[in-house]
Chains A and B, each alone.
Chain A
Amino acid sequence: MALRIWASSTANALRLSSATRPHFSPLSRCFSSVLDGLKYANSHEWVKHEGPVATIGITDHAQDHLGEVVFVELPEAGGTVTKATGFGAVESVKATSDVNSPISGEIVEVNSKLSQTPGLINSSPYEDGWMIKVKPSNPSELESLMGATQYTKFCEEEDAAH
């Protein structure tokens, strides 16, 4: 299990490090990848706030612990999400797992590719595996989320506790 996590995260780290994204560089090459510049919830979702829109997905840590994602349940565009409340679910290894929104707002776009290719969440959790885009209704909610360093420590502590 530890070897597989290392291999998975190394592959992810290499893939991310080869992309020219100066604002979102991998912080950690140990265990799962965490990108600098994103904000993170303690339920393992990430938010990328760019202008009026925030993109949301689940982290590399989450996808690695969930296993192969075979189905994604997403809401419709035009609906709303509430901070720390479920907006969808992923299915992996016989389980449905809730996905919670780190912030509140209106859903402006949903990643339709995930219905045909749910595995994008595993292969590209921070890029092609994004889940919804939201117009934040209360941007100050982002301030209460974790930064990359804090989230990395959070994951390490969570894994060490089990």
Chain B
Amino acid sequence: MATRQVARAGPPLMNIVKMKGVPILQQLEVEECLLRTSSENWCIINDGTDKPNIVMGISGKPAELVEIRPVLEDKIPVIRRFTGGGTVIVDHGTIFVSFICNKDDVADVQPYPRPIMSWSSLLYSQVFQGIADFRLRENDYVFGHRKFGGNAQSITKNRWIHHTSFLWDYEARNMSYLKLPKRAPEYRLARDHLDFICPMKDYLSRSDFITRTIDAAESHFSVESTEFEAVKPPSNMKFTPTSRLLTNQELEAAGNTSI
């Protein structure tokens, strides 16, 4: 990557892309493409996705994380994404916020998981200031001891993405598709999903959250709005995303191994 020769007059530029109801697989493909092929900074906000999807991290094993039989019977898509971290079920009640940054544009943050996570918590502390008892707890965003936001990252040589799925609201019955994970934060204390999470809607509206997030981004960057259509990868782009939908055969095989 070429070194920037010109001294910047102000804060680095951040392109804000606001979307609504974009399918989560498409969002993940756009994000990975921007991470790997763009040299600009991006903040992607997707206000709800179109239908329930289960999204696992890069190393997720469906046999361990997902109730295979009901997922197959109810035809719930299961995606393995390009970032690390755990498993979520997302739907129209989920608000996604993703920061894709050049490491040199966030120069006081070392490009490793924990410093990036800390940086993100400072940004969101601004978002929830005066609204709720927000904190970063073992890599989760919590109000008190209940999780409302899950995080994941991917770090390349010169860039990184930190993305979050925020539970603005959720359907309790959807949580039954997920198993209790083997790897869980200590503060979870073996609570099942409904005792562990809480909805953000109890604290602020969707529009307020999005506005406050953009305001917080403005304190770190010079922001400009960009349309989603402008960031979709062109059809002739030679980039193959790694996030993918698991096939029914894969899920059935996983179901057989978990018996």
Contact = CB atoms under 8 A, between A and B. Distances in A.
Interface of A: 43, 65-67, 70-71, 73, 84, 86, 89, 91-98, 100, 158-159, 161-162
Nearest to A84: B157
B229 interface: no
B113 A67 contact: yes
Contacts of A96: 58, 82-84, 153-155
B23 interface: no
Interface of B: 57-59, 82-86, 107-110, 112-117, 139, 151-157, 183
A158 B110 CA distance: 8
28 contacts: A43-B157, A65-B112, A65-B114, A66-B112, A67-B113, A67-B114, A71-B58, A71-B59, A84-B157, A86-B156, A91-B58, A91-B59, A92-B113, A93-B117, A93-B139, A94-B57, A94-B152, A95-B84, A95-B116, A95-B152, A95-B153, A96-B58, A96-B82, A96-B155, A97-B113, A98-B156, A162-B108, A162-B110
B69 to A, nearest CB: 26
Contacts of A161: 107
B120 to A, nearest CB: 11
Contact of A100 (B86, B152, B157): B157
Contact of B109 (A43, A94, A100, A162): A162
Contacts, number: 73
Given A91-B59, A94-B139, A162-B109, A70 B86 contact: no
Q: State the main secondary structure of chain B at its contact with A.
A: loop
A100 B151 CA distance: 24
Contacts of A89: 58
A98 B155 contact: yes
Nearest to A90: B84
A96 to B, nearest CB: 5
Contacts of A66: 112-113
A154 to B, nearest CB: 13
A94 B157 contact: no
Given A70-B59, A71-B58, A94 B151 contact: yes
Nearest to A73: B58
